[in-house]
Copies of this chain bind each other. A is one copy, B any other.
Amino acid sequence: MGDDCALLRPNAGLDLALTTDMLVEGRHFAADAAPRSLGHKALAVNLSDLAAMGAAPRWALLAIGLPAVAEDWLAEFSAGLFALAERFGVELIGGDTTRSALRTISIVAIGEVPAGVALYRSGARAGDDVWVSGELGGAALALRRPDIAEAARRLHEPEPRVELGERLRGLAHAAIDVSDGLVGDLGHILERSRLAAVLDYARIPRAAAFAALGDTELERDCVLSGGDDYELLFTAAPDERPALQALSRELGLALTRIGTIEPGAPRLEVRDERGAPLAYRGGYDHFRGNA
């Protein structure tokens, strides 16, 4: 830093994957959000996007707008961001700091992926299994029950599935991260792949806190339609089940088969334990608001 631009030297034979997100106070985080968690999350959501394409994170740029000189806030924010960056070997190569009445964070993350093996939303095939990592619904639960610490951690300090993303190269056909919610993000895969899918609701892994709550409506809404979990949702041929089960054990990360990709126009059916269709709320669109 200190020059007009950052310079980087790409490695031969690798494609670069780039992603950008903007987080705005009052929209994506509360004015009193803990700055350290926010630094973590701001980078995490971008690393999650790289993971969903099978890219290994390498570099990041940060543009930040702050209401006034806020050294303590910025120090905490940076501590959270750098702790995550160091964990995955991500180098912060540039940035811009400016004033803004609303705190605004824009990050670009850049990763590398061998030419030709990136994962796309459009790669699903009829007959594929639908898989998801970890468990769902915790982040959405935290919005309604901020007192549940396990859920709050999922919302404020999500863990990007960086290793999993890299290891899915050559195994998965299509991938996306669960940022808008399971049905919304699977919908993106179905639209881009021009295929349908059936999910088995009972199989979907969910935050442990739901069992004690006993609120089946809330649970279903969080699990199917809640966003911000940043797990990886992917499709793979049934032949890959043993390889994916072995990968799950190796990474110490649950990988669960929750449904099937089917031929036909984009359409998603979620079935209960008796095979009956379950109603669900549509995904989340940042621009239109809740559907």
State the A residues within 8 Å of B (CB): 2-10, 12, 15-24, 26-28, 49-50, 52-53, 55, 59, 61-65, 69, 93-102, 104, 106, 108, 110-111, 113, 115, 118, 120-122, 176-177, 192, 286-289
Contacts and interface: CB of A to CB of B under 8 A. Distances in A.
Contacts of A104: 22, 24, 65, 100, 102, 104, 106
B63 A120 contact: no
A108 B4 contact: no
A2 to B, nearest CB: 6
A8 B2 contact: no
Given A3-B121, A108-B108, A16 B26 contact: no
A18 B61 CA distance: 9
Given A102-B101, A106-B106, A15 B8 contact: yes
Contacts of A93: 18
Contacts of A20: 61-63, 94-96, 106, 108
Given A20-B63, A106-B22, A53 B7 contact: yes
B96 A22 contact: yes
A26 to B, nearest CB: 7
9 contacts: A2-B121, A3-B120, A4-B177, A5-B52, A6-B19, A7-B118, A24-B98, A26-B101, A98-B286
A5 B24 CA distance: 20
**Max count, chain B CB within 10 A of own CB: residue among A96, A111, A122:** A96
A9 B116 CA distance: 10
Q: Which 7 A-B pairs have the closest CB atoms?
A: A106-B106, A10-B10, A5-B17, A22-B63, A4-B49, A24-B100, A5-B19
Nearest to A111: B5
A12 B272 CA distance: 53
Contacts of A120: 3
Given A7-B17, A69-B288, 15 more contacts: A3-B192, A4-B52, A5-B18, A7-B16, A9-B15, A10-B16, A20-B95, A21-B96, A22-B64, A23-B98, A27-B98, A69-B287, A98-B287, A99-B286, A106-B106
